Amino acid sequence: MKRRSIIAANWKMNGNLSLITEMIIGLNEVQLAENVDVVVCPSFPYLATFSHLAQTENLQQSIHLGSQNVSEQKSGAYTGEISTDMLKECAVQYVIVGHSERRSIYKETSSLVAQKVTQVLDAGLTPILCVGESESERENEQTNAVLSAQLQPVIDSIGIEKFKDVVIAYEPVWAIGTGKTASPEMAQETHRFIREFLALNSSDIAAKVSLLYGGSVNAANCETLFAQPDIDGGLIGGASLKVDEFKIICSTTKG
The catalytic residues are: 99, 171
β-bridge partners, 126 = 94
The Cα 197–Cα 118 span in angstroms is 20
Residue 214 near residue 171, CB atoms below 8 Å = yes
Integer CA distances (angstroms), 12 to 42, 188, 195, 197, 207, in order: 7, 25, 27, 29, 30
Q: Where are the beta strands (DSSP E) in the chain?
A: 5-10, 36-41, 63-67, 94-97, 126-131, 167-170, 211-213, 233-236
The Cα 36–Cα 101 span in angstroms is 27
Beta-sheet pairing, 211-213 with 126-131? unpaired
Q: How many CA atoms lie within 13 A of 237 on its CB side?
A: 21
The Cα 246–Cα 236 span in angstroms is 8
The Cα 191–Cα 230 span in angstroms is 6
Residue 84: enclosing H or E segment and its boundaries? helix 84-89
